[in-house]
Amino acid sequence: MRKILLYLIVITSGLIFLARLFYLQVLDDSFVGRSENNAIKVVYDYPQRGFIFDRHGELLVSNQPSYDVMVIPRNLKPFDTTELCNILSITPEQLVSRLDKAKIYSPRLPSVVIPQLTKSEYAYLGEKMRNYEGFYIQKRSLRDYYTENGANVLGYITEVNQRIVNENPYYLSGDLIGKQGVEGYYEELLRGIKGVKYIQKDRFNRDIGAYKDGIYDTLPKKGKDLTITIDAELQKYGELLMENKRGGIIAIEPATGEILAMVTAPNYDPAELVGRQRSANFTKLYYDTIAKPLYDRALLAEYPPGSPFKVVNALIGLQEGIVNTHERFSCHGGYFYGRGRKMGCHPHASPLDMVPGIAQSCNAYFANVYRRIIEKYPTPQEGVDTWANHLKSFGLGDYLGSDLSTGRPGKIPTSKYYNAIYNYPTYKWFSTATISNAIGQGEVLMTPIQLANMTAAIANRGWFYTPHILKEIDGNPIKIKEFTEKKYTTIDAKHFDPVIEGMHQVYKAGTASALQIPGIEIAGKTGTAENFTRINGKRVQLTDHSIFVAFAPVDNPKIAMAVFVENGYWGGRYAGRIAGLMIEKYLKGEVTRTDMEKWILTHSLEEEYAKPYSGEPFRINQ
Amino acid sequence: MSKTISQFDWLTIFIYILLVTIGWVNIYSASLDDTATSFFDTSQIYGKQFMWIMLSIFLIVILLSLEAKFYERFSSVIYIFSLISILGLFFFGKTINGATSWYVFGGFSIQPAEFAKVATALALSKFVSDIQTNIQNIGDQFKALVIIALPALIILPQPDAGSAMVYAAFFFPLYREGLSGVYLLAGSLGILVFVMTLVFSPVWVSIGATVMVILSYFFRKKKRPGAIAYLSILLMAVAISFSVDYVFENVFEQRHRDRFNIVLGKEVDNRGIGYNTNQSEIAIGSGSWFGKGWTEGTQTKGNFVPEQHTDYIFSTVGEEWGFVGSTVVVLLFVFLILRIIHLAERQKSQFNRVYGYSVAGILFVHFFVNIGMVIGVFPTVGIPLPFFSYGGSGLWAFTILLFIFIKLDADRMSFW
């Protein structure tokens, strides 16, 4: 025993140590992560966000440096609050509440105290902030706008919210992300890929060099420069014409499906959503629930299309073979259907065949055509579904699938829809119940971009490219299948000529004959859509929407467009004039109808928009 | 001389060389910073250690050249000189890191307490091997205790509790030479009662002790101590338990209590007192099987573990060489100590044997307390890891300790 005691103790101790080491080093994995949290700092290197150019290569959006005042609450030392508040020009209450918020987010991670200082503000602050431990200034890159237009087209960038951080591991709190428009849809192209640097820290949290000499570090990759299809001049002109009005304009190049202009009114200057005032401006725009400047009417507003819809009904009629171009329908101040019900019409010559029917926009003509389409089939269900399928081939009644970060499907009613509302088969319904579809009222709803795309499909005599906003990536034309493959409508090309002739006559001698632009042949269609709102729960009719669709030149269409002006009364009044002016501007590069331009610029609809909110009885359509 | 060289225990020397080399490699990593120039830059910690190692060779040659009998003959003189040197610290000592344990000559500082262990080992061996001494005799036991306790008591208030604690190692040679097992039993029971009291309350410990004593009384073999002996053991245990509780709560300072509580897992404080142990465990734990590689340890580079090149050097081994590396180091120590015990057992001279056991005991206590602290199974006590930790005094003292024994061993045949 005396000889072996120390042996035993030494061996036992050795075994205990080995067991403990085995536990620490092999069994328990938690130490590895703790070691990395402890000793390695990850620093991100943010790449330059891609620039955005218009279709002619004009720079629209670039970057500018910006500076955020950041705080790491754990590192704070007592400081002179009043002095700091003066430097940052905020109130002590604001400072305290932001520091509290930062502490709640994380005592160890940086939070933003003052976002997006400009260069000159930074020059003033940079030196002074060094005296405040726990605060530092983080350089970021913000957007710099060379245009005051197209805020809805371009979108904006904003700090990521917690939900995005949770869902997408690429983003960290405080990172910027594109929202809406091109910035939103092409975020991954524009943002590039941020670089990572691993930095070895010592126990005082000081950097002591690159971790493993930087073998895990990556360089940032610059974002891609995008050329978009927008014509900046046309966009600017469209926004000018829409001042003091509400509505949306879409202009498309029919041969390519490229969106030339996408105007929503009212709008805002994209630069408003950059810099220190961003938050205040955004709140102001966000809470304007009457004019809704953040609401992209060109993409989201679902309006009844009104008379331009008659053109597709004529095409469907020809395709279904239930009408020919020579057959005349008479109009007795409207169309009478069953038990004395009547769809009114305005005064014009009667009877009319197809071309003047379109040119004069005769309701009775299209009511007849529509009934024949539906009644061609044994049941109205089959009739409506056949009709709806033709319409869907024009991109109506569903999302268009464009590269715009938002959109609406509009509505094309089907038998299922009518069966539901009329409680079929308990009650039956017939073509006359849906007769408003003949003239683009009733259940049909379309967004301006759908209407413009429909017009482009007519201009192309039966096909279209899905409208899109992206033209080139880093100077290379896009090869995205969705946008480079023709989509054919269900209407044969031969049926388009008489309809287009009708639209041409609209301009030559019909409802838009006042728009004459010297040297340009336009095919168009006016629309006047009844619309309603609710005031104190009561359905109240408002002044009609002014609608116009057009493409030009008739023989070789370069531009197809749809214009909606809310409560602008009849189609030729506002929408027609705006369309005419934009077409001239685009095709000629200048405007000769200065009389028409002057009229638009001096007429405001603000008074009209104020009516429902006045609280007093008002008259419409005056 | 050539005859003597062949009689040196080259296996021990080989393990010594391995440990010193591995130690230096890890000190290099632990003390490396960006200003590193050459391996041997003496303005750097690793450069200085390299110099100490080189000087050790010189020292070894001297140690092995001296007559073996010199050590026995001059042991008393060496012991007294050593006592004077540690006493002198109270007058001429320099305070570094809160402990007045250093003499400073120009750029170099020396820690005499490290060398006092060697002197005490020699003096104790001399005393125990004296023909007059009978270690089973209470009077001689007391004299031995004085030899051991004198340097320990001088060192204790400097304050250097860790170095003082090492003197407990001299229990091993005394036990080997015939000290009653009762001391071992009493010591073990005392420690058991102490730890149990800290984990549970004195009341529970008393109840447990009572049950144990009653059981062992009834299952005792014939011709064993009577009931009175059992009763007195029980009373002692209860008394220790309550007094430990009292001392722990009222005499210990909070920092002492914390050190125990952390090892017993009763308290987690990773920022304050627990910081060292926690960081050292993180460093070792992050090493996994094969470690992060030499000079690649992120904890080591970041200086997260305090005193890493001295008392916590083993955490660098754990982080950079992993389980494999730390196993090698632990086994090297175990083999070295076992080898020394083996060598001690083959000595014909009692002086040599007592000295050998002292060497083994001292190395073991250092090994056990240091690595135990670094891997979190022993309270924080600041003593170096032999041959590993940075420091000229420590390295030289352990070198002298070991090589005196190697010389004695080589000379064992010619002793009589």
A175: left (phi over 0), alpha (psi -120 to 50) or beta: beta
Please tell me the predicted confidence (pLDDT) of residue B124.
92
Q: What distance in Å separates the CA atoms of residue A474 and residue A477, rounded to the nearest whole number?
A: 9
For residues B281 and A20, is the Cβ–Cβ distance under 8 A? no
Please tell me the predicted confidence (pLDDT) of residue B416.
45
Residue A342 DSSP SS3: strand
Please tell me the predicted confidence (pLDDT) of residue A95.
87
Average pLDDT along chain B: 82
Q: What distance in Å separates the CA atoms of residue A127 and residue B242, rounded to the nearest whole number?
A: 63
B297 in any annotated domain: yes
Question: Which B positions 189-208 lie with beta carbon below 8 A of chain A?
Answer: none
Average the pLDDT over each of A144-148, A296-300, A343-347, A384-388 and give the range with the smallest value.
Answer: A343-347
pLDDT in tens, A290-303: 888 888 898 998 98
Q: Does residue B142 belong to the interface with chain A, where contact is any CB pair within 8 Å?
A: no
> Who contacts A539 (Cβ-Cβ below 8 Å, separation ≥6)?
A532, A533
Q: What distance in Å separates the CA atoms of residue A622 and residue B45, rounded to the nearest whole number?
A: 95
Which of A6, A11, A40 would best serve as a mutation to test chain B binding (most B beta carbons within 10 A)? A6
Q: Does residue B53 belong to the interface with chain A, where contact is any CB pair within 8 Å?
A: no
Strand pairing report for A538-552 and A523-535? antiparallel
B243 in any annotated domain: no
For residues B172 and B362, is the Cβ–Cβ distance under 8 A? no
Q: Does residue B360 belong to the interface with chain A, where contact is any CB pair within 8 Å?
A: yes
Take residue B67 and report the two structure tokens written for it: 């007559």
Question: How would DSSP label each residue in A151-172?
Answer: HHHH-EEEE--HHHHHH-TT--
CB contacts of A10 in chain B (<8 Å) are 334, 337-338, 341, 360, 364
- Calculate mean pLDDT across residues A526-538: 85
Q: Does residue B333 belong to the interface with chain A, where contact is any CB pair within 8 Å?
A: yes
Going along chain A from its start, the domains and CATH numbers come out as: 42-71+80-122+132-228 (3.90.1310.10), 232-572+584-596 (3.40.710.10)
> Who contacts B115 (Cβ-Cβ below 8 Å, separation ≥6)?
B82, B85, B393, B396, B397, B400
Q: How confident is the model at residue B263 (pLDDT cuts 50, 70, 90)?
A: low
Please tell me the predicted confidence (pLDDT) of residue A52.
94
pLDDT in tens, B29-82: 887 765 556 666 767 788 888 888 999 999 999 998 888 888 888 999 999 999
Take residue A272 and report the two structure tokens written for it: 């408003």
Q: Do A203 and B181 touch (CB under 8 A)?
A: no
Nearest-Cα distance to chain B for A213, in Å, is 10
Q: Classify each residue of A338-363 as buried b or exposed e, where b means 16 or more C-beta atoms within 10 Å of its C-beta.
A: eeeeebebeebebebbbbbbbbbbbb
Q: Do B322 and A40 touch (CB under 8 A)?
A: no
Average pLDDT along chain A: 86
Q: Do A24 and B181 touch (CB under 8 A)?
A: no
Q: Does residue B385 belong to the interface with chain A, where contact is any CB pair within 8 Å?
A: no
Residue B291 DSSP SS3: coil
Average the pLDDT over each of A158-167, B199-208, B303-312 and give the range with the smallest value.
Answer: B303-312
Looking up tokens 């029917």 gives A357
Which of B323, B332, B347 would best serve as a mutation to test chain A binding (most A beta carbons within 10 A)? B323
Q: How confident is the model at residue B277 (pLDDT cuts 50, 70, 90)?
A: confident
Helix axes A119-129, A81-88, angle to 10 degrees: 160
From B282, B289, B330, residue closest to A31, measured CB to CB: B282
> Who contacts A305 (Cβ-Cβ below 8 Å, separation ≥6)?
A440, A444, A445, A446, A451, A527, A529, A547
- Calculate mean pLDDT across residues B136-148: 88
Give the domain range for residue B125. Answer: 2-179+252-414
Closest to B255 (Cα-Cα) out of B280, B235, B275: B275
Q: Does residue B183 belong to the interface with chain A, where contact is any CB pair within 8 Å?
A: no
Q: What distance in Å separates the CA atoms of residue B116 and residue B163, rounded to the nearest whole number?
A: 10
Q: Do B322 and A25 touch (CB under 8 A)?
A: yes
B75 in any annotated domain: yes
pLDDT in tens, A464-522: 999 999 999 998 888 888 888 899 999 999 999 999 999 999 998 888 888 899 889 99
Strand pairing report for A195-201 and A207-210? antiparallel
- Calculate mean pLDDT across residues A604-614: 87
From B285, B301, B361, residue closest to A24, measured CB to CB: B285
For residues A145 and A60, is the Cβ–Cβ distance under 8 A? yes
- Calculate mean pLDDT across residues B185-200: 76
How many other C-beta atoms are found inside a 10 Å radius of the C-beta of residue B58?
9
pLDDT at B27 > cutoff 80:
yes
Q: Does residue B281 belong to the interface with chain A, where contact is any CB pair within 8 Å?
A: yes
How many other C-beta atoms are found inside a 10 Å radius of the C-beta of residue B5?
10
Q: Does residue B361 belong to the interface with chain A, where contact is any CB pair within 8 Å?
A: yes
Nearest-Cα distance to chain A for B88, in Å, is 35
Q: How confident is the model at residue B357 (pLDDT cuts 50, 70, 90)?
A: very high
CA dihedral sign, ordered A456, A511, A262, A226: positive
For residues B283 and B316, is the Cβ–Cβ distance under 8 A? yes
Q: How confident is the model at residue B265 (pLDDT cuts 50, 70, 90)?
A: low
CA dihedral sign, ordered B228, B234, B240, B245: negative
Residue A42 DSSP SS3: strand
Q: What distance in Å separates the CA atoms of residue B232 and residue B216, rounded to the nearest whole number?
A: 14
From A20, A203, A208, residue closest to B377, measured CB to CB: A20
Q: Does residue B328 belong to the interface with chain A, where contact is any CB pair within 8 Å?
A: no
Q: Which ipTM value was assigned to this complex?
A: 0.85
State how far Cα A459 lies from the chain centre: 24
Peptide bond before A425: cis, by omega within 30 degrees of 0?
yes
Please tell me the predicted confidence (pLDDT) of residue B327.
92
Phi, psi (deg, nearest 5) at residue B86: -80, -30
Longest dimension (CA), chain B: 73
Which of B183, B282, B303, B333 would best serve as a mutation to test chain A binding (most A beta carbons within 10 A)? B282
Q: How confident is the model at residue A584 (pLDDT cuts 50, 70, 90)?
A: very high
Nearest-Cα distance to chain A for B177, in Å, is 8
Q: Does residue B284 belong to the interface with chain A, where contact is any CB pair within 8 Å?
A: yes
B48 in any annotated domain: yes
- Calculate mean pLDDT across residues A214-229: 83
Average the pLDDT over each of A69-83, A396-410, A536-550, B263-277 and give the range with the smallest value.
Answer: B263-277
Helix axes B392-410, B313-345, angle to 10 degrees: 20
pLDDT at B107 > cutoff 90:
no
Q: What distance in Å separates the CA atoms of residue B394 and residue A70, rounded to the nearest whole number?
A: 49
Highest mean pLDDT, choosing among A105-109, A428-432, B191-195: A428-432
The pTM assigned to this predicted structure is: 0.62
Question: How would DSSP label each residue in B195-251?
Answer: HHHHHS-HHHHHHHHHHHHHHHHHTPPTT---HHHHHHHHHHHHHHHHHHHHIIIII
Take residue B154 and report the two structure tokens written for it: 């001088």
Nearest-Cα distance to chain A for B324, in Å, is 9
pLDDT at B255 > cutoff 70:
no
Question: How would DSSP label each residue in A55-81?
Answer: TT--EEEEEEEEEEEEE-GGG-----H
Looking up tokens 């880093």 gives A474
Residue A443 per-residue DSSP state: T
Strand pairing report for A226-228 and A52-53? parallel
Closest to B158 (Cα-Cα) out of B93, B255, B80: B93
B380 in any annotated domain: yes
From A9, A14, A25, residue closest to B330, measured CB to CB: A14
- Identity of the amino acid at B139: G
Residue B310 per-residue DSSP state: T
Phi, psi (deg, nearest 5) at residue A131: -75, -10
For residues B114 and B392, is the Cβ–Cβ distance under 8 A? no
| Number of domains comprising chain B | 1
From B34, B172, B298, residue closest to A40, measured CB to CB: B298
B357 in any annotated domain: yes
Q: Does residue B324 belong to the interface with chain A, where contact is any CB pair within 8 Å?
A: no
pLDDT at A349 > cutoff 50:
yes
Which of A5, A12, A24, A30 would best serve as a mutation to test chain B binding (most B beta carbons within 10 A)? A24
- Identity of the amino acid at A589: G
Take residue B194 and report the two structure tokens written for it: 């102490």
> Which H/E stretch holds residue A54?
none
Phi, psi (deg, nearest 5) at residue A616: -115, 160
For residues A291 and A612, is the Cβ–Cβ distance under 8 A? no
Looking up tokens 């007519």 gives A458
- Calculate mean pLDDT across residues B21-33: 84
From A3, A14, A31, residue closest to B285, measured CB to CB: A31
Average the pLDDT over each of A532-541, B134-143, B216-225 and give the range with the smallest value.
Answer: B216-225
Q: How confident is the model at residue B264 (pLDDT cuts 50, 70, 90)?
A: low
Q: What distance in Å separates the CA atoms of residue A411 and residue A242, rounded to the nearest whole number?
A: 26
B269 in any annotated domain: yes
Residue B88 DSSP SS3: helix
Question: Which one has a higher pLDDT value, B388 or B212?
Answer: B388
Question: Which one has a higher pLDDT value, A460 or A208?
Answer: A460
- Calculate mean pLDDT across residues B5-26: 88
Q: What distance in Å separates the CA atoms of residue A183 and residue A235, rounded to the nearest whole number?
A: 18
Q: What distance in Å separates the CA atoms of residue A78 and residue A95, rounded to the nearest whole number?
A: 14
Name beta bridge partners: A561.
A251, A550
Q: Do B364 and A6 touch (CB under 8 A)?
A: yes
From A2, A10, A31, residue closest to B175, measured CB to CB: A2
Please tell me the predicted confidence (pLDDT) of residue A208.
66
CA dihedral sign, ordered A104, A108, A109, A115: positive
